[in-house]
Amino acid sequence: MKTPWIGTSWKMNKTRAGARAFAEALKASPFANTTKAQLFVIPPFPYIAEVADILSSTRVITGAQNMHWADQGAWTGEVSALMVKDCGATLVELGHSERRTHFGETDETVSKKVAAAVKHGLIALVCIGDTRSEYEVGATADVLAKQTRYALRDVGKSAPGNVVIAYEPVWSIGEGGIPAGPGFANAQHAKLKALTAEITGQPLPILYGGSVNRQNCCDLASMPDIDGLFIGRSAWDPAGYIGIIDAVTQRLGETA
């Protein structure tokens, strides 16, 4: 039985009270210390320390949604790896398509951030994805390979244990997104596992994200090359997140 990663990023949502309520509900759930999955929660920056503190007695990882590649300096509005760690986070999400689209994130800057995260002992959760037009012309595999090669360029053999990849089709994420079919997603994951093994010496965990919900989570997580789920709005309510964890771990237990 595989141990899937199951996590959620709240993006720019929740108040402090809402963040605290979610963390408390997760802490009180039967899955707070589960060994059947590796859970992670990625709050907005203002709530990282409080969420991390609440979840400190659990096996749930707390992450940040972005960081800069420099340790310090004249980077107004940015946050360093050292600051992320100081708040209690042990994971950082990098290269999300919304960052690439709206804030000028590039393969080059993602590469620098991954290297900084690994240098400081953070788990780098690297998001990669193809656009609708790239998907329609059959360029998905080439696009994902390019983004992955850049992300791992400066970490190479030190990536295993320190880097996780999340395949998030740009055409699947967000409101109105269309989830990738399990077979299509699994095929991309298989290619990515082979590529990461070539670059780092062993395959890295590859998660799927993109309109994951209670209806499709088990079919996706059951695929042999999908190592977990990165969930959006379906997991922003603690009951929704816990429900997906319960469903996935039960299904994997049945098929083990």
Give the whole-angstrom CA distance, residue 110 versus residue 202.
Answer: 21
Four-residue CA torsion sign, 176, 224, 121, 113: negative
Give every CB contact of residue 11 below 8 A, 6+ residues apart in sequence: 44, 65, 98, 232
Catalytic residue among 96, 105, 134, 189: 96
In the annotation, is 108 catalytic? no
| Beta-carbon count within 10 A of 210 CB | 26
Catalytic residue among 93, 105, 134, 168: 168
In the annotation, is 68 catalytic? no
Q: What is the CA radius of gyration of the chain?
A: 17
At position 164, the amino acid (one-letter code) is V
Q: Exposed, middle or buried, 224 (CB in 10 Å: 0-12/13-18/19+)?
A: exposed
For residue 186, which phi and psi values (nearest 5 degrees)?
-60, -40
The alpha carbon of 52 is separated from its chain's Cα centroid by a whole number of angstroms, namely 17
Residues involved in catalysis: 96, 168
